[in-house]
Copies of this chain bind each other. A is one copy, B any other.
Amino acid sequence: MGLIVKKFGGSSVATTEKIMAVAKRILAEKKDDDQIVMVVSAMGDTTDDLIQLAKQLTKDPYQYEREMDMLLTTGEQVSIALLTMAFNSLGHPAVSLTGMMAGMKTDSVHTKGRILDIKPRRIKEELDKGNIVVVAGFQGADEFGDPVTLGRGGSDTSAVAIAGALHADSCEIFTDVDGIYSADPRVEPDARRMKEITYDEMLEMARLGAGVMQPRSVEMGKHFNIPIHVRSTFTNTPGTMIREAYTMEEKDFVIRGVAHDSNVAKVAVLGVPNNPGIAHSIFSALADAHVSVDMIVQSIRNVEKNVTDMVFTLAHDDLSKAKPIVDAVADKLNAVAVLVEEDVAKVSIVGAGMLGNPGIASRMFGALANGGINIDVISTSEISISCLVKTTDLSKAVNVIHDEFFPKKA
């Protein structure tokens, strides 16, 4: 019993067979007095196919952002129409709504829109008529009524935002994994599925490389205080509930998970004069180019000459954009050299429990040391500790840390 928003991604609705399977599953699970809002993405490869079509006309179709949104929003419109037909053909009334019809108001930043407001009047009306309401994810409309897509992870964000606006009992994100794990199961065979995780921990996990949920949708859940249930499209087992605080006695582990990220590069600007404003001159130039810097270490190279080294990491994807910018600033600062290391990766532990447990960091460093893994840079936040290691050591680093905090059951 309740009002539940359920989101299915593109791979879950990739074919008409899969669409029919989703409809059957939802009806099998649905209790008589449940109210259901479905949020769906475009079918499988539809978005890629549409982009290919546009590329036949122009090398860089994304320069016409408004028209890309006009083009790509058709993808979800097809899947909502088909899923709604599936529900109706199975005997349950249903109705489809585009993002605009569902009241999703966005700004006008085409292809990367942000939700400004949701007016779910139409959704409520259709629910009250007894319909399952099938809403197009990933899209809304701006003040002019032009279609706008929400960018990466947009369908999850749509679902959580709609759940928030409707004061839904929960928002279920159906995906190809069956929950949030204590580490990536492809790297750590003993990774455990968590029953619960807090918004803050999930955000930190996502920031540090865990790929299941995009941070935007978790932030939206935190904002509206909507529990987000991450669960499998393919099984009926419960997955992981993301919520404000734990409801269960799941305090066995002081950390919630081990995250890792191999999309990392390290840049060292060596031998710059240690004057006020040095850090600012480097990092503001990068910020202007929309390059985010992650771990930062400043260390004294030569006290007498008052010369310092500035070391930081950034996404490997940003390296080709960042390198000439850093070179130019280093040149102006009369730096000795700019060194780049590409074979680095980051391993992190996350958990709100570490606040009251001072020994956590040393256990992490000890596990790495016992594994013969060298730590290059360390950074910490309130609920996480990250270490930069060699890329070749990354899997082993995840394993030894996971063993330390989640000991194998005998």
Mark A residues whose CB is within 8 Å of B: 16-17, 19-20, 50, 53-54, 56-58, 61, 64, 66-68, 70-71, 73-74, 77-78, 80-82, 84-86, 88-89, 95-96, 98, 100-101, 122, 144-146
> How far, in whole Å, are A84 and B69 apart by their CA atoms in the complex?
12
Nearest-CB residue, chain B, relative to A68: B81
Q: Contact check: which of B19, B56, B73, B85 meets A77 at CB < 8 Å?
A: B73
A84–B96 CB distance below 8 A = no
B84–A70 CB distance below 8 A = yes
Q: Contact check: which of B54, B82, B145 meets A53 at CB < 8 Å?
A: B82
B82–A57 CB distance below 8 A = yes
Nearest-CB residue, chain B, relative to A96: B70
B71–A82 CB distance below 8 A = yes
Question: A409 to nearest B CB, angstroms?
Answer: 46
A77–B70 CB distance below 8 A = yes
Q: A16-B53, A16-B57, A70-B77 are in contact. Are A85 and B101 (CB under 8 A)?
A: no
| 17 residue pairs bridging A and B, Cβ less than 8 Å apart | A16-B56, A16-B57, A50-B78, A57-B82, A58-B85, A64-B85, A64-B88, A66-B95, A67-B82, A67-B85, A70-B84, A71-B78, A71-B81, A71-B85, A74-B77, A74-B81, A101-B146
A58–B96 CB distance below 8 A = no
B96–A67 CB distance below 8 A = yes
B85–A80 CB distance below 8 A = no
Chain B residues within 8 Å of A82, by CB: 53-54, 57, 67, 71
The secondary structure that dominates the A interface is: helix
Question: A79 to nearest B CB, angstroms?
Answer: 10
Chain B residues within 8 Å of A146, by CB: 101
- Copies of this chain present in the complex amount to 2
Question: A104 to nearest B CB, angstroms?
Answer: 13
Q: Contact check: which of B20, B56, B84, B144 meets A64 at CB < 8 Å?
A: B84
Q: Contact check: which of B61, B67, B81 meets A70 at CB < 8 Å?
A: B81
Chain B residues within 8 Å of A50, by CB: 78
Chain B residues within 8 Å of A64, by CB: 84-85, 88-89
> How far, in whole Å, are A67 and B78 apart by their CA atoms in the complex?
9
Residue among A57, A73, A98 having the largest count of chain B Cβ atoms under 10 Å: A57
Residue among A67, A82, A95 having the largest count of chain B Cβ atoms under 10 Å: A67
B70–A80 CB distance below 8 A = yes
A19–B74 CB distance below 8 A = no
> How far, in whole Å, are A339 and B353 apart by their CA atoms in the complex?
90
Nearest-CB residue, chain B, relative to A59: B89
> How far, in whole Å, are A95 and B54 apart by their CA atoms in the complex?
15
Chain B residues within 8 Å of A84, by CB: 64, 67, 70
Chain B residues within 8 Å of A100, by CB: 145
Chain B residues within 8 Å of A20, by CB: 57
Nearest-CB residue, chain B, relative to A71: B81
Q: Which 3 A-B pairs have the closest CB atoms?
A: A71-B81, A74-B74, A16-B56
Residue among A56, A82, A86, A145 having the largest count of chain B Cβ atoms under 10 Å: A82
A89–B58 CB distance below 8 A = yes
> How far, in whole Å, are A271 and B58 apart by their CA atoms in the complex?
71
> How far, in whole Å, are A78 and B70 apart by their CA atoms in the complex?
7
Nearest-CB residue, chain B, relative to A52: B16
